Amino acid sequence: MEGQIPYDDYLLVFLAPCENPQAWIPPHERVYHPDYNNELTQFLPRTITLKKPPEPSWVIPDSDAHWAGLQEGDQVLAVNEVDFQDIEHTKVVEILKTAREINPRVRFFP
């Protein structure tokens, strides 16, 4: 067929096997099982305070951002009470570059 990629040309991706998969636990037993966290507050929006150093730097482990509670998977909802959900990228960059202290409101959203 014209315009289609032949099957042999597809890139195949193989995932590494999970070394120690967690055993399946029936839902009614998960409430009391220590391997399951039923605490939903980790998904609620929260505000953290970050003070920028004089020169810009990357967020790295053991940095102020890390210790303030920022984690991989957080979605930035607002910074310094400016809503970031419906804002142009250039405005976001301007806010982050000019502020000496930023107070982002984030939520865990993996």
Residue 100 lies in a domain: yes
Give residue-wise pLDDT tens across range 3-58: 565 555 555 555 566 667 667 878 788 777 777 766 777 778 888 777 766 554 55
pTM as predicted: 0.46
Residue 94 lies in a domain: yes
Domain residue limits at 43: 39-108
Residue 70 lies in a domain: yes
25 contacts 38 by C-beta, under 8 angstroms: no
pLDDT value at residue 15: 57
Residue 11 lies in a domain: no
Residue 92 lies in a domain: yes
Beta strand 104-108 with 50-51 is unpaired
Give residue-wise pLDDT tens across range 71-85: 777 888 888 888 888
For residue 95, what is the domain's CATH number?
A: 2.30.42.10
Instruction: Order across the sheet with 46-47: list the strands.
Output: 46-47, 104-108, 74-79, 82-83
pLDDT value at residue 70: 81
Residue 21 lies in a domain: no
E strands in 1-110: 46-47, 50-51, 74-79, 82-83, 101-102, 104-108
Q: How many domains does the chain fold into? A: 1
